Amino acid sequence: MEQLMRDFFLFLSKNKTLTKLAKRYGLRFGASRFVAGETIEQAAEVIKQLNKKGLAVTIDYLGEFVDNESEANEMADNSIEAIRAIGRERLNSQLSLKMTSMGLDISDELVMRNMRRILEAAKENGVFVTIDMEDYSRCQKTIDIFKQLKKEYDNVGTVLQAYLYRTEDDIEDLKDYHPNLRLVKGAYKESSEVAFPDKKDVDENFKKIIKMHLLNGNYTAVATHDDAIIEYTKQLVKEYNIPNDQFEFQMLYGIRPERQEQLAREGYTMRVYVPYGTDWYGYFMRRLAERPANVAFVLKGMFRK
């Protein structure tokens, strides 16, 4: 049943007509629990509140389905606007973004042009930029882009997904770039040819890559809501005397907020991934796919006056 729901919401997340409708009807039906508004001004207010609670942030201007050059350029402009707001308002926030929204499916040259514009603005404003990881078909390209940009800029990192068989090799391959990596379980529907089908194996691999990356001496963002993984990381850093400034925890905005604050109080860097923008529909559907309890929450929101 859970798998059925997951597939259903992942299917909905890719539906263009529904995306258009969602854009038109605004942030209704509980989506505002996971999305910090449609404009940078609204998002900045949310970030300020989170910062006050001791939480760091990474902000993401939502946009999927970019299929022409002017849309990709516009997405990059929006990210630059967000970077400038972070600098201007002195927010404790990084930026996250997706290569498809920078034009990955259009041309490599377009992506590189947009990324260099963004990283220049980020450098001027002291902002770190993380390249999110998308589905498997874009993984190698994303890593290649990251490698090229990392040679030119210090303020860029990316994400590796524990569900992919290849990730262990990627950690090894990237080691000498000394990358700041966000490690996650992985959010897309992948075939068993490329990804562990069993959750148990994904969890084991997650632990393995966290250990590898930390012991390689590289900065590690452990992005999960899973207490077992959080506890594992805490034990590991204790055992190997890894300082608190070599790693952090990350969670999504609206998911387990009390746990986020608790980790910050314990002295860990806790970063909240805060998405905003008019194109929130696909992101929202993926959160529903992850956890049926989120659906119950949204249904309540739909029927509440």
Q: Which 16-35 residues touch ligand FAD, going by CB under 6 A?
A: none
- Only segment of 66-74, 79-87, 148-156, 183-191 that touches ligand FAD (CB under 6 A): 183-191
Find the shortest distance in angstroms from Cβ 282 to ligand FAD. 13
Interacting residue with ligand FAD among 223, 236, 263, 298 (CB under 6 A): 223
As a residue count, the chain comes to 305
For the record, the structure tokens of 180 come out as: 């700041």
Is residue 159 near ligand FAD by the rule CB under 6 A?
yes
Q: How far apart are CA 269 and CA 56, in angstroms?
A: 7
Q: Please state the separation of Cα 82 from the chain's center in Å.
A: 16
With a CB cutoff of 8 Å and minimum separation 6, the contacts of 89 are 44, 48
Find the shortest distance in angstroms from Cβ 24 to ligand FAD. 27
For the record, the structure tokens of 203 come out as: 């969890």
Find the shortest distance in angstroms from Cβ 261 to ligand FAD. 14
Q: What DSSP designation does 197 have?
A: S
* 21 vs 299 by CB, closer to ligand FAD: 299
- Only segment of 7-15, 136-144, 208-216, 217-225 that touches ligand FAD (CB under 6 A): 217-225
Evaluate whether 80 touches 118 at the Cβ level (below 8 Å): yes
Q: How far apart are CA 111 and CA 125, in angstroms?
A: 21
Catalytic residue among 132, 170, 203, 279: 132
- Only segment of 16-24, 35-43, 84-92, 219-227 that touches ligand FAD (CB under 6 A): 219-227
Nearest alpha carbon to residue 38 among 285, 283, 302, 275 = 275
Is residue 155 near ligand FAD by the rule CB under 6 A?
no
Interacting residue with ligand FAD among 66, 184, 210, 237 (CB under 6 A): 184
Catalytic residue among 108, 117, 135, 182: 182
For the record, the structure tokens of 143 come out as: 């890593």
Is residue 186 near ligand FAD by the rule CB under 6 A?
yes
Is residue 290 near ligand FAD by the rule CB under 6 A?
yes
Evaluate whether 294 touches 73 at the Cβ level (below 8 Å): no
Total residues binding ligand FAD (CB under 6 A): 23
For the record, the structure tokens of 214 come out as: 């930390």
Looking at the DSSP assignment, which residues form a beta bridge with residue 164? 195
Amino acid sitting at position 276 = Y
DSSP state letters, 19-76: HHHHHHH-S-TTGGGT---SSHHHHHHHHHHHHHTT-EEEEEE------SHHHHHHHH
Is residue 102 near ligand FAD by the rule CB under 6 A?
no
- Only segment of 17-25, 79-87, 185-193, 234-242 that touches ligand FAD (CB under 6 A): 185-193
With a CB cutoff of 8 Å and minimum separation 6, the contacts of 166 are 139, 194
Find the distance separating the first CA and the last CA of the chain, reported in whole Å: 30
182 counts as catalytic? yes
The contact pattern for ligand FAD, residues 224-263, with x = CB under 6 A and - = no contact, is: xxx-----------------------xxx--xx-------
Interacting residue with ligand FAD among 72, 133, 139, 209 (CB under 6 A): 133
Is residue 146 near ligand FAD by the rule CB under 6 A?
no
* 69 vs 257 by CB, closer to ligand FAD: 257
Which residues are designated catalytic? 132, 182
Q: Where along the sequence are the contacts to ligand FAD (CB under 6 A)?
A: 132-133, 159, 161, 182, 184-188, 223-226, 250-252, 255-256, 273, 290-291, 294
